[in-house]
Amino acid sequence: MGKLDDRVAIITGGSGGIGRAAGKKFVDEGAKVLLVDLDERALREAVDAIGTKNATFECSDVTSDDDTQRYVKAALERFGHIDIFLANAGIEGNVKQIPDYPIEVFDRVIAVNVRGVWLGLKHVIPAMAKSGGGSISVEGIGFAIPVNLARGVMKEILEYGHVIRGWIGILPEDYDDEQAGQLRLPHGGVVVANMYRNSPAVDASLHLGDIITQVDGRPVHSAQDTLSQIVVKKPGANVRLHILREHRELDVVVHVIERPNSIQGT
């Protein structure tokens, strides 16, 4: 018997580091999960890794009311009810002083991290209430608060007592096909747009502008994909980045550490 037998969970940010790990843990404990995220390819990979029997996905932007209604509907149609809502999709934004902070980045952080969670609750709570015969328990609502759930689950998943994620201190960005064409770079690439001071990436002599094509031998197609592969590395391990620098290919091995609580600027 699993702790979550027959429970149905929606996990937003489901193809990211915590979302994917939580999805796996939930399914291992007997639940069925619907992963919600932006990138279909990453979602497919996450579902394949978890096992397609009890995991499925919906490509949705949590900041959109229509998308939110769609993923809630998809969970109900596919699994019949909703018991767990892990509102985990989130972005960090930039690390900058407020006077230098771009307004559009601030707006996006608020849209994803605040509006996205609120929209999820707005549509999930009535669905949960219906599944429970027209009532919703305090535990039910409590379960819908991601931090509590994530904290407990991650303790078990990561065996450290708190959430730990691998970190090397890069801020990668996607570049588009047009830029790739102009610079004669591979399509669908990832560039090291910034690095934190005194970070493992700086220690390993990664350069701004390096193009990351593989992480530990696996091709990467987006900045998100790159970070997702790094966060799941255990602190103390090494990660091998295959990069393109001034049209030369090389491997850079970077020592992975735990993300510091406070990080210095870029």
Ligand X SMILES: NC(=O)c1ccc[n+]([C@@H]2O[C@H](COP(=O)([O-])OP(=O)(O)OC[C@H]3O[C@@H](n4cnc5c(N)ncnc54)[C@H](O)[C@@H]3O)[C@@H](O)[C@H]2O)c1
Minimum distance, C-beta of residue 45 to ligand X, in the bound complex (Å): 11
- Between CA 21 and CA 108 the distance in angstroms is 25
Percentages helix, strand, coil for the chain, rounded to the nearest 5?
A: 40, 20, 35
Site stretch for ligand X (CB under 6 A), options 10-18, 25-33, 195-203, 213-221: 10-18
29 lies in the site for ligand X, by CB under 6 A: no
Looking only at residues 99 through 128 of this chain, which bind ligand X when binding is defined by CB under 6 A? 112, 116
213 lies in the site for ligand X, by CB under 6 A: no
Interface pick for ligand X out of 11, 38, 153, 257 (rule CB under 6 A): 38
Chain-centroid distance of CA 191 in Å reads 19
Ramachandran angles phi, psi of 79, nearest 5°: -125, -10
Minimum distance, C-beta of residue 31 to ligand X, in the bound complex (Å): 18
Minimum distance, C-beta of residue 86 to ligand X, in the bound complex (Å): 10
Of the candidates 185, 16, 2, 180, the one whose C-alpha atom is nearest the C-alpha of residue 92 is 16
The nearer residue to ligand X, 205 or 262, going by C-beta atoms, is 262
**Interface contacts to ligand X, rule CB under 6 A:** 12-13, 15-19, 37-38, 61-63, 88-92, 112, 116, 163, 165, 224, 227-228, 231, 259
